[in-house]
Amino acid sequence: MHKGGCTVTETKKRIVVVGAGYWGPNLARNFRASADWELAAICDLDETRAQLLADSLGGVPVRTSLADVLADETVDAIAVATPARTHHPIVTAALEAGKHVMVEKPLADDRMRGEDMVALAAERGLVLMADHTYCYTPAVLKIREIIAEGMLGDILFVDSVRINLGLIQPDVDVFWDLAPHDLSILDFVLPGGLDTTSVSAHGSDPLRTGKACVGYLAMPLAGGAMAHVNVNWLSPTKIRQMVIGGTQRTLVWDDLNPQQRISVYDRGVDIDTVSKETTLDRRSANISYRLGDTWSPALPEREALGGVVAEFAAAIREGRPARTSGDAGLRVLAVLDAAQRSLAAGGAPAPMTLDIQPHRTTRGAAA
């Protein structure tokens, strides 16, 4: 097939998906279907598992040696879908071999290792992208747009709930397993990103698994707002909901309601300025309740991972950081790191140890 005098395949980058377990098949399927990419191989230590995935995609080469993949000069990039504890050695080796890298959440299993990865990518001039998939869903892209347009006014609070009867992970607690979704979304949609100075975390382990299975995070945000995240592996009901309250309107995102994922409520509390005569008695302030309309925007139905793989290709092609860059992944790691320190201190606020630079909010949405 020709387009503009050249074959489409000449514009494609060659990528290898490393890891054929839970998330790897989703990545491989989307890279296989993308006009930007040629899926060069599936790499996994378990050759049988890799072959099953390759066969399901109509036939893709299988590799069991990461070293062989990285030595292949025809491979432009790798997508890492392996356990978090393996991210640092795999990503570091790939960057040192001159490959662009996309890595599933969390970016690493430790903040300092994440910093090392981000620094190496910058030194080598390579794209390091965090696969924060939710940030490419139509709903989250719309939330980002609504906030950027000022429809909610100044943000007052965020309440996020991500609970279900889930799999107890062998190597991470519930914070590291579920909270990266909510934290990456907050970093993506809020104008200042994850702009917080401290994190308070409370967790419990009622099943005596040796790790927190139920957890709560609280973070002060710029301007006096507060963000609260509840994650839970033990809930018999599944809830995926985020409430973002502003001075003008409040937005509710219910990810499990395909008919109405986003609702914007023109409702709230208005407190009139206290007059000079009543400044000594704050109770006399005039409080009024605003009960306005509710609006639900129409959203397109498309797979978020299609946007993820397209953004990865665009960042490489244009020589720029991806929308969910390594820095974005590092901001999430910084919060998780502070949460671990807070847990160890019995829930006391733990200061952030990373000088987080707020991202620049741009209007519009990723393709």
Domain coordinates in residue numbering, the chain? 2-133+306-324, 135-300+328-351
pTM equals 0.88
pLDDT for 283: 53
Give CATH superfamily name and number for 135-300+328-351.
Answer: Dihydrodipicolinate Reductase; domain 2 (3.30.360.10)
Q: Out of 34-48, 219-233, 321-335, 352-366, which region has the weakest mean confidence (pLDDT)?
A: 352-366
- Percent of the chain at pLDDT > 90 equals 79
Q: If we measure between CA atoms, which residue out of 198, 22, 220 comes closest to residue 105?
A: 22
Q: With 0-12 CB in 10 A as exposed, 13-18 as middle and 19+ as buried, what is 34?
A: buried
Structure tokens at 77: 């990039």
Q: Sheet containing 100-104: give its strands across.
A: 62-63, 37-43, 13-18, 77-80, 100-104, 128-131
Structure tokens at 174: 């519930």
| 152 vs 276, more confident | 152
Bridge partners (DSSP) listed for residue 217: 201, 229
Asked whether residue 4 carries a pLDDT value surpassing 80, the answer given is: no
Q: Which amino acid belongs to residue 180?
A: P
309-363 pLDDT tens trace: 999 999 999 999 999 999 999 999 999 999 999 999 999 999 987 655 544 333 3
| 281 vs 112, more confident | 112
Structure tokens at 223: 């301007």
Q: If we measure between CA atoms, which residue out of 301, 300, 302, 308 comes closest to residue 28?
A: 308
Asked whether residue 284 carries a pLDDT value surpassing 70, the answer given is: no
CA-atom Rg of the chain in angstroms: 22
Cβ count near 203 (within 10 Å): 20
65-91 pLDDT tens trace: 999 999 999 999 999 999 999 999 999
On whether the CB atoms of residues 255 and 304 are closer than 8 A, the answer is no
Long-range contacts of 194-198, Cβ-Cβ distance < 8 Å, separation of 24 or more: 194/219, 194/331, 194/332, 194/334, 194/335, 194/356, 195/221, 195/222, 195/356, 195/358, 196/220, 196/221, 196/222, 196/227, 196/335, 196/352, 196/356, 197/351, 197/352, 198/338, 198/349, 198/350, 198/351, 198/352
146-198 pLDDT tens trace: 999 999 999 999 999 999 998 888 778 999 999 999 999 999 999 988 889 99
159-171 pLDDT tens trace: 999 999 988 887 7
Q: At what angle do helices 326-344 and 111-124 cross, to 10 degrees?
A: 160
Q: What CATH number is given for 2-133+306-324 in this structure? A: 3.40.50.720
On whether the CB atoms of residues 342 and 349 are closer than 8 A, the answer is yes
